[in-house]
A and B are shown apart, each in its own frame.
With several copies, the nearest count.
Chain A
Amino acid sequence: MDLHYSAEDLAFRDEVRSFLETSYPDHLRSRASRDEVTKQDFLDWQKILYNRGWGAPAWPKEYGGTGWSSTQKYIFQEECARAETLGVPPFGMSMLAPVLMAFANEKQKSYYLPRILDGTDFWCQGYSEPGAGSDLASLKTRAEKDGDSWVINGQKTWTTLAHFADWIFVLCRTDPTARKPQEGISFILVNIKTPGVEVRPIITMDGGHEVNETWFTDVRVPLENIVGEENQGWTYAKYLLVHERSGIAGVARSKKAVERLKHIASIELDRGEPIIRNADFARKVAELEIDLTALEFTELRTLAREAQGKGAGPESSVLKIKGTEIQQRLTELTLEAVGVYGAPYFRGFPMEGGNQFPIGPDYAHHSAPAYANMRKTSIYGGSNEIQRNIIAKMVLGL
Chain B
Amino acid sequence: MDFNFTPEQDTLRDQIARLVRDQNDFDTRRKVSRSEPGWRPALWSQFAELGLLGAPFSEEDGGFGGSVVESMIVMEEFGKGLVIEPYLQTVVIAGGFLRHAGSAAQKEDHLASIIGGERVFAFAYSEPKSRFDLNDVSTTARREGDGYVLNGHKAVVLAAPFASHLIVTARTSGAQRDKGGVSVFIVPKAAKGVSTRDYPTVDGLRASEVYFENVHVPASDLIGAADHGFPLVEAVVDEAIAALCAEAHGAMKVLNQTTLDYSKTRKQFGQPIGNFQVLQHRLADMFMAYEQSVSMTYMVTLKLGEPETARKMAASAAKVQIGKAGRLVSQEAVQIHGGMGMTDELNVGHFFKRLTMIESQFGNTDWHLRRFTELSNS
Interface residues of A (CB under 8 A from B): 1-6, 9, 71, 128, 131-135, 138, 157-158, 202-205, 207, 211, 262, 268-272, 275-283, 285-287, 289-291, 293-298, 300-301, 304, 308, 315, 318, 321-322, 335-336, 339-346, 349, 358-360, 368-369, 371-372, 375-376, 378-380, 383-385, 388-389, 391-392, 395-398
- A204 x B5 contact (CB < 8 A): no
- Bound-state CA distance A368–B372 (Å) is 26
Residues on B with beta carbons closer than 8 Å to the beta carbon of A321? 288
B248: interface (CB < 8 Å): no
Instruction: State whether B352 touches A205 (Cβ < 8 A).
Output: yes
A315 to B294 Cα, complex, angstroms: 14
User: Complex formed: what's the CA distance from A315 to B303 in Å?
Assistant: 25
User: B268 and A135: CB pair below 8 A?
Assistant: yes
Interface string of B163-206 (1 = CB under 8 A from A): 00000000000001100000000000000000001011111000
The answer to whether residues A315 and B291 also contact, given A134-B268, A202-B343 and a CB cut-off of 8 A, is yes
Measured between beta carbons, the chain B residues less than 8 angstroms from A371 are 356
Residues of B within 8 A of A379 (CB): 334-335, 338-339, 341-342
A291 cross-chain contacts in B, Cβ below 8 A: 292, 321
Nearest B residue to A210 via CB reads B342
Q: Is the CB of A297 within 8 A of B298?
A: yes
Sampled A-B contacts (29; CB under 8 Å): A6-B1, A128-B339, A133-B338, A135-B268, A135-B269, A158-B339, A204-B342, A205-B353, A269-B131, A276-B377, A282-B373, A285-B373, A291-B321, A293-B296, A294-B299, A295-B292, A298-B292, A301-B295, A321-B288, A322-B288, A336-B360, A344-B199, A344-B207, A368-B357, A372-B356, A376-B342, A392-B277, A392-B283, A398-B274
B126 at the interface (CB under 8 A from A): yes
Closest to B349 in A: A205
B325 to chain A, nearest CB (A): 9
Task: Please name all residues of chain A whose beta carbon is closer than 8 Å to the beta carbon of B270 when the two chains form the complex.
Answer: 138
CA–CA, A157 to B338, complex, Å?
Answer: 12
Which of B339, B366, B369 is most buried by chain A, counting CB atoms within 10 A of its CB?
B339
CA distance A359 to B299 in the complex (A): 37
Q: Is B32 an interface residue (CB 8 A)?
A: no
- Bound complex: CA A322 to CA B296 (Å): 14
Apart from A133-B268, A262-B377, A391-B288, 13 more pairs, CB < 8 Å? A205-B350, A282-B373, A286-B372, A301-B298, A344-B200, A368-B357, A369-B202, A375-B341, A376-B339, A379-B339, A384-B335, A398-B263, A398-B283
Judge whether A388 and B280 touch: CB under 8 Å.
yes
Contact A294 B296 (CB under 8 A): yes
| Chain B, range 137-170, C-beta contacts under 8 Å to A | 155-156, 158
- Please determine whether B280 and A343 come into contact, CB atoms closer than 8 angstroms: no
Contact at B295–A378, with CB atoms within 8 Å?
A: no
Please tell me if the beta carbons of A133 and B199 are within 8 angstroms of each other in the complex.
no
Residues of chain B within 8 A (CB-CB) of A128 are 339
The 5 closest A-B pairs by CB, nearest first: A205-B349, A297-B295, A392-B280, A294-B292, A391-B284
Decide: A293 and B343 in contact? CB cutoff 8 A: no
With A5-B1, A388-B285 as contacts: A269 and B202 at CB distance below 8 Å: no
Q: Given known contacts A205-B343, A392-B280, is B360 in contact with A342 (CB within 8 Å)?
A: yes
Taken together as a complex, chains A and B put the C-alpha atoms of A394 and B317 apart, in Å, by: 30
Nearest B-chain residue to A298, judged by Cβ: B295
Q: Is the interface of A mostly helix, strand, loop or mixed?
A: helix
Within the complex, the shortest CB–CB distance from A364 to chain B, in Å, comes to 10
Docked CA distance A385–B296 (Å): 25
Q: Is the CB of B301 within 8 A of A1?
A: yes
Chain B nearest Cβ from A223, distance in angstroms: 32
> How far apart are the CA atoms of A286 and B374 in the complex, in Å?
10
| A294:B302 contact, CB within 8 angstroms | no
Given the known inter-chain contacts A134-B338, A340-B360, please indicate yes or no for A349 contacting B199, CB distance below 8 A.
Answer: yes
Complex-state Cα separation, A290 to B268, whole angstroms: 36
Name the CB-closest residue of B to A357: B199
Q: Which of A300, A318, A383 contacts B338 (CB 8 A)?
A: A383
Q: Which of B1, B133, B301 contacts A300 (CB 8 A)?
A: B1
Q: Would you give the shortest CB distance from A293 to chain B, in whole angstroms?
A: 5
Cross-chain contact B352 with A372 (CB below 8 angstroms)? yes
Chain A minimum-CB-distance residue to B320: A290
Task: Specify the chain B residue showing the minimal Cβ separation from A321.
Answer: B288
Decide yes or no whether B211 CB sits under 8 A from chain A. Answer: no
B26 CB–A CB distance under 8 Å = no
Query: Across the interface, do B339 and A271 meet the contact criterion of CB distance under 8 Å?
Result: no
- What residues of chain A lie closer than 8 Å to B269, measured between beta carbons? 135, 138
| A345-B200 contact given A290-B317, A321-B288, A389-B280, CB 8 Å threshold | yes
A392–B273 Cα distance when bound, in Å, is 13
Known A276-B377, A290-B320, A318-B291; contact A375-B342, beta-carbon cutoff 8 A: yes
| Residue numbers in A under 8 Å from B292 (CB-CB) | 291, 294-295, 298, 322
* Interface mask (B323-341 → A, CB under 8 Å = 1, otherwise 0): 0000000010011001101
In the bound assembly, the distance between CA atoms of A315 and B3 in angstroms comes to 16
Please determine whether B356 and A368 come into contact, CB atoms closer than 8 angstroms.
Answer: yes
Decide if A398 touches B275 in the complex (CB within 8 Å): yes
Cβ-based interface call for B264 (8 A): yes
**In the assembly, what is the distance between CA of A372 and CA of B283, in Å?**
21
CB-based contact A345/B136 at 8 Å? no
A205→B342 contact, CB < 8 A = yes
CB of A311, distance to nearest CB on chain B (Å): 15
Contacts of B331 in A (CB 8 A): 375
A267 to B268, CA, bound (A): 46
Option from A3, A272, A300, A345 in Cβ contact (under 8 Å) with B199: A345
Q: CB distance B298 to A336 under 8 Å?
A: no
CB proximity of A103 to chain B, nearest CB, Å: 26
Given A298-B295, A369-B202; A340-B342 close (CB under 8 Å): no
Q: Is B370 on the interface with A (CB-CB < 8 A)? A: yes
* A262 to B155 alpha-carbon distance, docked (Å): 23
Cβ contact within 8 Å between A286 and B376: yes
- Per the 8 Å Cβ criterion, residues 228-277 of B in contact with A are 260, 263-264, 267-270, 274-277
**Binary A-proximity of B109-126 (CB < 8 A = 1, otherwise 0):** 000000000000000001
Instruction: Indicate if the CB atoms of B131 and A339 lie closer than 8 Å.
Output: yes
B260 engages A3 (CB within 8 Å): no
In chain B, positions 16-66 with a C-beta closer than 8 Å to chain A are none
**CA–CA, A63 and B285, complex, Å:** 40
Chain B's nearest CB lies how many Å from the CB of A348? 9
